[in-house]
Amino acid sequence: MTAPEVIYAWRWLIRDTFRQSMANYLFWVMLAVSAVVIFFCLSVSIEGGGPLRPVDDLEVAKPHGHMSLAFGAWRMPLFRDGEAQVHFVLLLLAEWVAGGGGTLLALVWTAGFVPEFLQPANATVLLSKPIPRWVLLMGKYLGVVAFAGIQVTVFIAGTWLALGLSTGFWVSSYLWGIPLLLLHFAAVYSFSVFLAVCTRSTLTCVVGSVAFWLLCWGINYGRHCLLALESTLPPLHPLLRGLAEAGYWIVPKPVDMGMMLHRFLDAGDSFRSFSELQKVQELGAFYPELSLVTSLLFAIVMIVIAARQLSATNY
């Protein structure tokens, strides 16, 4: 196939993925979840919220305003300035709602796209066309990533816009969550695609992708813990150190994604990282750019392996 033909096929597959998401109502369910959170952000307001320590005020612990939720149904005192409070709310949304929890939900909700696509009743029609199987698989993968990209953009941009309009404070660093969360999802979802090609089972993709994410989290955090321990204990056995490094650099890195979110969103004033993660950064053993590159390389390798497996599958 020529390059324009490949691009045309991918465009069709991306549109088909969105059609599939609307037919099974997943598109609207995820939009509804985002809409609920965005509506909550619109209900937030800041009253007062001046500087935490005014020039003529010696009482640091005194509240300097209030934050109202649900259009004034609940009010809580502010012990920080208004912008810092909005920043804190956005950090909760980025690191906890859209971060780890959002990634796991996205893996579960999108796990059925490729298995359904590869069911014999559907696949035989597509595979009978003069289109290489790797083009079909890659197009479907890009379609799911595009679908996830739309959803994460609606969530991040929508909550940022809603909080900005309701409070008057605009924390632009929050928007870094869009590319970081999408790249992380793309890396981990490639393993779900591999499982789909091997089993064509939605349940296997759901359980397998969640288990894989948890395994990656453990490998990532374990490597950082070992490095932190080495600074206070005798050097580790070279074999153990080598296995930890190999596992860390091969698989996607959920902990590193959280650390990058923490850094880009300037979360240090609101949340403290685990001591092991702080130690790794102090040692200069955290390489965010290389972490992203190797995670994306993992995705490329998984898609290539899945495409080769699909080419050898009989329908």
Q: Is residue 70 part of a domain?
A: no
Q: What is the pLDDT of residues 9-41, one digit of tens each?
A: 999 999 999 999 999 899 999 999 999 999 999
In a domain, 35, yes or no: yes
* % of the chain with per-residue pLDDT over 70: 88
For residue 271, the model assigns a pLDDT of 67
pLDDT above 90 as % of the chain: 55
Does the pTM of the predicted model rise above 0.75?
A: yes
Q: Give the residue numbers spanning the domain of 255.
A: 3-42+81-312
The DSSP element (H or E) to which 164 belongs, if any, is helix 133-167
Give a yes or no: residue 109 inside a domain: yes
Q: What is the pLDDT of residue 50?
A: 54
Inside any domain, residue 294: yes
Residue 55 lies in a domain: no
Q: What's the confidence (pLDDT) of residue 120?
A: 77
Residue 34, pLDDT score: 95
Domain count, the chain: 1
Cα–Cα distance for residue pair 114/141, rounded to 1 Å:
8
- DSSP-derived 3-state class of residue 307: helix
What six digits make up the tokens of 33? 């979840």
Residue 136 domain-assigned (yes or no)? yes
Integer Cα distance of 120 and 126 in angstroms = 10
What's the pLDDT tens digit per position in 119-155?
877 665 566 567 888 999 999 999 999 999 999 999 9
Reply yes or no on whether the pLDDT at 82 is more than 80: no
